[in-house]
Chains A and B, each alone.
Chain A
C-alpha cells in the first residue's frame, strides 16, 4: 500500500491565496461583487460542516503548517481574508 508522506517542500506563500480561492470554489463559483477579505465562506456553504476537516488537512499538508483547535473556531478562520492571513502568518 502506498503511504502518502507530507509534501517534501511546502508550497510557497504566494500559493496560499490561489489555493484557498480554488478550494472554496469547488462547489460553486464565488459571486463577483463580494468583499473577498471579509466574505464568510462557511456561512455561505462553500465549505460545509462535512467538508471542513478535509479542508484543514489539505491546507496543513500543502503548506506544512498546523492549525490548532481554537483557530478552527475563530472568526478569522471563517473569512477568506482571515484564513489566508492565518496561513501566511504561520509560514513566516
Chain B
C-alpha cells in the first residue's frame, strides 16, 4: 500500500507514502507560517498535484478552501475572496501579481510555479522541502468543519458561496464508492477543473478507497482517450459535454479494456451518444443528476431492467426526490413540477446568508429550481431549468455576472445573457443587447471588453442586437424568448 500510486498528474506519480509525507510537511509548513484552524485559503490554480495536497492538508488542519477559476479577472477574484473572508491565497504567480490585496504575515501568498517570477511568492514545493522531519498529522479538523466554499456566482456584488463541510464531502465520496462499487483496484479519472465540486469528489473517491487517482490538467478528447489508456483508468464521472466530444472521437479507437464504469453528469446525455459509448466502450454507462448543493440525487443504471433511456435514473441511496407545484405542494407521479430533494449529502447552507439558505429550502428539501417529473417506477425525468443558470461544459454561469460585466459600457443601453444550445459544450453564453446607436456600435470592442472582464467559461459566444429586450407583463426580462429572437435576428454574430 505505501508504494501504491495514489495520484498521477501530468506524468508525475506520487505513491501513498510520498503523498502522505508531502501533506504532513505542507501542513507543518503552513502552520509554521501562521495558518490556524478555521482559516480561509483561496485557491486559484489549474489542476495540479499541489491542489490535492492542499485539500488533504486543509482537512487535517480544519482549514477552509475557496477554489475559484484562475481565469477570473482580478476584480472578480478580489470580490470572491472578500465575500468568503479569505486570508491566504494560493494561486499562479500571474494571478498573485494581479491582486491588489497585499501579502503579509496574516495573508500568505503562495504559488506552485515561479518560473516567470522573481521569487516574490513562496512555492508550495519549497514549503514542503523546508520541513526536514516527518511530522505527525495535526488532527485539528473535524467532520463538522466547513471544508470547501464553492462559489456559485463569480463576479457580482452578491456571491452565494456554498458551504460544504468535511462530512458533506466525505459522504458524497462514500456514496459514489457504494453506488458504483469502487474498490482499491479502481483507477479513477478526474478530467474537470478542481475548482468545481465534481473533480474534488473524483480525487477524494480513490484516496478514500485506496485506489489510484488520475488528475488531468488539460482536456481534449484525444488527451482523455490517451490518458484512460495509458493509466488503465477504470472509473470516472464525466460532464456530459466531454463524453459527447469523446464519443465523436471514438470511431478512431477500439474498446478500452480497463474501463468498467463511466458516469455522465451535469446535463442529459443524448440517448444516441449513450448507446454509442456503451457499444464502443462496452462498459457500464450511468447517468446522474444533482447540483452543488445536494450532490448526486439520482443515478441511472443501464443494468436495470429496461430503464427509460431519457431519464436520469432513480433516487440514490438515502435520497428522497419529490416533485412539487409552485406552492410547494407534492405532485403525483407523471405530473411536471419543481424537483426538490432531501439527502444526507446536503450542503451546509450559503456562507453567512441564512436568508438565502432558508429561501432555497422547502422544509428539509432543497429546491433545485429544475423542472422534472417522476414516473410510477420512481424514474426521474429532467424537463428544464426554472432558474436562469447557463451550464457550459458542466460549469454554471450566472446571467447576472455577465450582465454586471457589461453594465455601463459606452453605448450599451441594456443587455441580457441567456443559454444557447451548443453542439460541443451543451450550452454557451449568448448576450442580447440594446445599443443607443446600432449602426455605430463597436461590437468587437465589447467582445474584447468581455474578454478582459470575464473568466474563460463566462465568455459570450453569440451576440444579438435587439431594438428592445423581451419582457413579461411584470417588466421582467423573458430570457427563454431570447434564443428564438436570436435565430430570427439578422445581425447575429457568432464567434466559434
Please indicate the chain B residues that have their CB under 8 angstroms from the CB of A48 in the complex.
218-220, 393
Asked if B272 is at the interface (CB within 8 A of a chain A CB), the reply is no
Most buried by B among A4, A6, A46, A56: A4
Complex alpha-carbon distance, A29 and B112, angstroms: 13
Residue-wise, chain A 4-36 has the 8 Å CB interface mask toward B (1 for contact) of: 101000000000000000100011110000000
Interface string of A48-59 (1 = CB under 8 A from B): 111111111110
- Known A-B contacts A4-B452, A57-B448, A72-B496; A44 and B217 likewise in contact (beta carbons under 8 Å): no
Cβ contact within 8 Å between A22 and B494: no
Say yes or no: A56 contacts B218, CB within 8 Å. Answer: no
Which residue in B92, B453, B454, B456 is a CB contact (below 8 Å) of A50?
A: B456
Answer whether residue B447 sits at the interface, using C-beta atoms and an 8 A cutoff: yes
Question: How many Å lie between the Cα of A77 and that of B98 in the bound state?
Answer: 28
CA distance A58 to B71 in the complex (A): 12
Proximity string of chain B (241-263) to chain A, C-beta cutoff 8 Å, 1 when within and 0 when not? 00001000000000000000000
A66 at the interface (CB under 8 A from B): yes
**Chain B 373-407 interface mask (CB, 8 Å, partner A; 1/0):** 00000000000000000001101000000000001
Bound Cα distance A61, B452 (Å)? 9
Chain A: CB-nearest residue to B452: A4
Q: Which single member of B47, B92, B219, B495 contacts A53 (CB below 8 Å)?
A: B495
Question: Which of A45, A53, A58, A60 is B461 in contact with, Cβ under 8 Å?
Answer: A53
Whether A6 contacts B448 by the Cβ 8 Å rule is: yes
Within 8 A of A (CB), among B54-109: 70-71, 92, 94
- Judge whether B408 and A1 touch: CB under 8 Å: yes
A to B contact number (C-beta, < 8 Å): 94
Q: Give CA–CA (A21, B343) in the complex, Å.
A: 46
B138 within 8 A of A: no
Given contacts A6-B448, A28-B218, contact A54 B71 (CB under 8 A): yes
| Alpha-carbon separation in the docked complex, A57 to B463 (Å) | 14
* B328 in the interface (beta carbon within 8 A): no
B448 touches A69 (CB 8 A): no
Is B449 an interface residue, CB under 8 A from the partner? yes
Contact among B10, B222, B392, B451 for A54, CB-based, below 8 A: B451
Q: Are A44 and B456 in contact (CB under 8 A)?
A: no
A44 to B216, CA, bound (A): 11
Q: Is the CB of A3 within 8 A of B456?
A: no
CB-based nearest A residue for B445: A6
B425 and A49 form a contact (CB under 8 A): yes
Q: Is B120 an interface residue, CB under 8 A from the partner?
A: no
Pairwise interchain contact A50-B451, C-beta atoms closer than 8 A: no
* B450 / chain A contacts, CB cutoff of 8 Å: 57
The answer to whether A27 and B217 have CB atoms under 8 Å apart is yes
SS of B interface (majority): loop
Task: Count A interface residues, CB 8 Å.
Answer: 30
| Bound Cα distance A46, B218 (Å) | 6
B410 interface hit (Cβ, 8 Å): yes
Is B140 in the interface zone, CB < 8 Å from A? Answer: no
CA distance A26 to B425 in the complex (A): 21
B459 located at the interface, meaning its Cβ lies under 8 Å from any Cβ of chain A in the complex: yes
The answer to whether A28 touches B217, judged by C-beta atoms less than 8 angstroms apart, is yes
With the chains together, A46 CA to B456 CA distance in Å? 13
Cα A36 to Cα B494 with chains together (Å): 30
State whether the Cβ of B480 lies closer than 8 Å to any Cβ in chain A. Answer: no
Do A54 and B459 contact each other (CB < 8 Å), given the known contacts A45-B220, A48-B220? yes
B198-238 toward A: CB 8 Å interface, digit per residue (1/0)? 00000000000000000011111011000000000000000
CB distance B218 to A60 under 8 Å?
no
Query: Which of A43, A46, A54 is packed against the most chain B CB atoms within 10 Å?
Result: A54
A66 contact set on B, CB distance < 8 A: 444
- Is B92 within 8 A of A26, CB to CB? yes
Q: Once bound together, how far apart are the Cα atoms of A55 and B444, in whole Å?
A: 14
Is A76 located at the chain interface by the 8 A CB criterion?
A: no
Tell me the smallest distance from the CB of A59 to a CB of chain B, in Å.
Answer: 9
Q: Is B116 an interface residue (CB 8 A)?
A: yes
Q: Which residues of A sit under 8 angstroms from B180, Cβ to Cβ? A: none
Most chain B CB within 10 A, of A26, A52, A53, is at A53
Q: A43 to B450, alpha carbons, bound, how many Å?
A: 25
Interface residue? A91 (CB, 8 A): no
A87 vs chain B, min Cβ distance (A)? 15
Chain B residues within an 8 Å CB radius of A52: 496
With contact pairs A28-B217, A44-B220 given, residues A4 and B70 touching in the complex (Cβ less than 8 Å): no
Question: Top 5 A-B pairs ranked by shortest CB distance?
Answer: A57-B451, A45-B218, A45-B220, A53-B459, A51-B456
Selected A-B contacts with CB under 8 Å, 18 pairs: A26-B92, A27-B47, A28-B10, A28-B46, A44-B222, A48-B218, A49-B245, A49-B424, A50-B425, A54-B455, A55-B456, A57-B448, A60-B444, A60-B447, A61-B451, A66-B444, A69-B495, A72-B496
